[in-house]
Structure 1
Amino acid sequence: HFTSILRNGKQTNEGPFTSKRIEKLHQKRYLKIKDVFHKVSHHIVKLAQEEVCKIVIGQNKSWKQETNMGKRNNQSFCHIPHNLLIQMITYKANAVGIQVVVTEESYTSKASFLDNDFIPTYGKNDQNTTFSGKRIKRGIYRSANKTLINADVNAAANILRKVIPNAWTNGIEGLGVKQLANVLTPLTLIVR
């Protein structure tokens, strides 16, 4: 409710409306988000310290401006400061010697990681591109040979392929048991 008040103001010609109460709510929300982001970035870097020398993060330009998830979800999603999380991960990872690369992630959810599909860049070489697999329902991606994989894992592997093209030269069969488990089951962090 307060987000809509901040965005719309009292009248269209008066600009954004604010008050001490709305400013306090906004500050409280920002501090909670910042606290959660510090905890999440700490856990990500702590996990990465075990076996990782580079963290790859996917991000698209103006991705929050072109969302259409409904009024409530758009307001919630667009007000999450994702760049703040990326900055926190970057400075914490650099402090322990881990490199962070931020790359664009267009078509990584559509392309099949298992089939080694070509991943075009949005607006550059994306005309007449077809992909061998597809997302069949929420969270499930089916490759050309009917193999099912978690859709987020498929997209994450493709984001890594955009930065390090030979990252999966041996396929997932070339991974050790621990890495294979990490590829097949995404990790969920619970931050309190």
Structure 2
Amino acid sequence: MARRKTITREHILNATHEVVATEGFSGFTARNIASKMKSSTQPIYLEFKNMEELREAFFEEVEDYLRNEVFNKEVSGDPIIDLTLNYVEFARKEKMLFRALFVEDHAGGQLLNEFGLKMFIEKAKDSELYQGVSDEELNTAFLGNWITATGLASLATSERIHPTIEEMVSILNIVNKSIKRNPTFTITM
């Protein structure tokens, strides 16, 4: 009789999440993930061809988590501001995971940038507030909000600032008004 599989894909992805959330991507090794599961590395390589395949599966899980658990909360009624506020709140609650995903340099960084832009445009296009706004203007708004949000999140997670929701909404409104007046703002990603 064949041995029953006790460590599943889900177990491996959960352990990967725990490792990245506590150690960042510097801890993303088969040995560290196996250690978190109290097993050898064999179950990882039975489930995934290599660590790159595990990384890709992990990023798919992260995107689902961010889309369904983090970025879908309504706070202000403006989906773009809500997305930004949720990003900052995520950074406050899950400091190390935020840093690992959005601050550290890693192979999935560009994927997360593209995911963030896609979420931003989807939320804007689903809202009456942003009807008639071009994709180019939304790209510009994304950049301004993302840069502002990352600054707020980084400063808040390091306890250097303690902005209230109202203060952040005010800052974001100022940023968005400035972007509307200067729609040619760009930055290379």
**Shorter-normalised TM range:** 0.3 to 0.5
TM-score by length of 1: 0.35
TM-score by length of 2: 0.36
More strand by share: 1
Q: Which has the higher contact order (CA 8 A, sep 6+)?
A: 2
Q: Which has the larger radius of gyration?
A: 1
More helix by share: 2
